[in-house]
Structure 1
Amino acid sequence: MRTATLTLAICLMALPAAARNFIRSDEGRDYAQTRNQYGVVLQGAGEVIYLGESCDIESPQRGTGKWGLGSEQVLLDFTESGLTLAPTERFLGRDIVECAL
């Protein structure tokens, strides 16, 4: 049992970040992504960010705003601040065409 657990742990560590659905911000933070019926949920660094299919953003930590999908970055424009995520290829909401810039 111990050998199987160790083997599984090693295999999980070897997975690339894309396989674990992470995306990195310009602040150097990694966010886990989950796609749901309303858009994309980002979780990481003690915060949650909801990106809606109508290009709206809501975060208990950062407030509200709008987001857009660029060719190389996802741009999050909060009322008080901004954040970018890259690379676009890893973003789970890249098929939300209404938010393309």
Structure 2
Amino acid sequence: MKSNIHQSMSIIILAIAVAFGSYYIGSQIRETPNIESQSLLLTEEEAAEYLGISHSNLFRILSLESEDRSRVSVYDSYAYIPFIEIQGVRYFTIREFDKWVEYKMHNKSLVY
């Protein structure tokens, strides 16, 4: 008899743990941003569109930043638009753009 009570209690506790775990995992999945869309590489044209500026304006900003960057040896990570260059083509991510804009807004240096 005592064994049946322990077995029943164990099953109830296990069921509660599974239900709680499922709820917790489900809520975390809903709150997690879509990493795939934020890690997608954007071309210069797509990056300009994301920022709401023309491609020529983005190119001008990148050129000014490149000139400025060549004059300094140390700078903050988001002082300049982050990008990677593969075979001479620049690529950007939305996540890094958002961090760059936040840095520029915080440092009040978004004007070019």
TM-score, normalised relative to structure 2: 0.33
Greater per-residue strand proportion: 1
Which TM-score applies when normalising by structure 1? 0.36
Larger helix fraction of residues = 2
- Greater relative CO, 1 or 2 (CA 8 Å, sep 6+): 2
Highest Rg: 1 or 2? 2
